[in-house]
Amino acid sequence: MREIAFRDALREAMSGEMRRDERVFLIGEEVAQYDGAYKVSKGMLEEFVARRVVDTPISESGFAGLSIGAAMMGLRPIVEFMSWSFSLVAADPILNNAAKMLYMSGGQFGCPIVFRGNNGAGGQLGSTHSWCVESLYANVPGLKIIIPSTPYTAKGLLTQAIRDDNPVFCLENERMLALTGDVPEESYTLPIGKAELIRSGNDCTIVSFGRPLYFCLEAAEELAREGIECEIIDGRSIRPLDIDTIAASVCRTNYCVVVDQSWSFASVGSEVAAEVHRVCFDDLDNYVYRVHSDDVPAPYAKGLEQEMLPNARKICEAVRSVTYNA
């Protein structure tokens, strides 16, 4: 098995499905001539030509709506948002058409479409370009949301998303695109809605998604030196949420910390905590602690931005508190 970058794993998933199924195409700003704003689609124009790798104007609502219509008529678009922050101007077609079409048409029209791009802060892009959109969109029935955390999960989850007959949001992170890891050359899929245990421990369960998992692993190493062994769950997908895997861990450790890069109010983290309280109430020895981004717009200044986000220090403090080791 060879080692490749996160961005290359995404490209392999898209290219593999475009070779397998001629209905699949990629559309978005700078995906063709410029090889993608973050070089995720590098070389794809040469292989698949402009009919299937389509550059668009800066008009997210326009090309999102166009792609939703194409999906309704039998194609399988992959829509790249340069940033999920820009998806907000396309919220109407995404939420009122893509998410609801199967229901509103009584099953006559599905919408097999993937929306993907960079999500979250960390790159000093300022508050308007640093949205964490998962908590906004996870509230809407009819959508699936995946957050891959490694090159391996990126390829497997995105491949499955392209094959899915429902709208799927793939939330990536600019700060992870150069991350490398082992990825099989052959095509494979990973199930949407199945979490993974990535570190075993007996003292506390930490649940997270995407980039914050690396802060969780860093915190777990520090806590291990203090004699606190944490179990870490990579949620992989937010909707559907694999509460069974999370609950199985919490019922063993009796403590839980949820780490979510969203703001805390009405967030993915609060939903995970509510579900853990519901399912594991008799096994919990304390309430579920949550670590979120601070409740402010993302600052531009590097030091302030890093302090706003979840980090290893905040996670360690939460674990010590929840396990009565503060």
- Measured distance CA(61)–CA(88) in Å, rounded: 9
* Predicted structure pTM score: 0.97
Residue 6 has a pLDDT of 98
What are the two backbone dihedrals, phi and then psi, of residue 240, each rounded to the nearest 5 degrees? -75, 155
Residue 326 has a pLDDT of 67
Domain architecture of the chain: domains with CATH: 2-183 (3.40.50.970), 196-322 (3.40.50.920)
pLDDT digits (tens, 9 = 90+) for 108-160: 989 999 999 999 987 899 999 999 999 999 999 999 999 999 999 999 999 99
Which amino acid makes up residue 19?
R
Query: What residues contact 303, with CB distance under 8 A and at least 6 apart?
Result: none
**Which residues of the chain fall short of a pLDDT of 70?**
326
In what helix (H) or strand (E) does residue 289 lie, and over which residues does it extend?
strand 289-291
Nearest to 242 by CA among 286, 279, 195, 281: 195
- Enumerate the active-site residues: 60, 129
Residue 122 has a pLDDT of 76
Residue 123 has a pLDDT of 85
Q: DSSP characters for 94-132?
A: IIIIITTHHHHTTTS-----EEEEE-SS-SS--GGG---
How far apart, in Å, are the Cα atoms of 43 and each of 3, 15, 105, 115? 19, 10, 38, 20
pLDDT digits (tens, 9 = 90+) for 242-266: 999 999 999 999 999 999 999 999 9
- Measured distance CA(290)–CA(119) in Å, rounded: 20
How far apart, in Å, are the Cα atoms of 235 and each of 41, 186, 193? 26, 24, 8
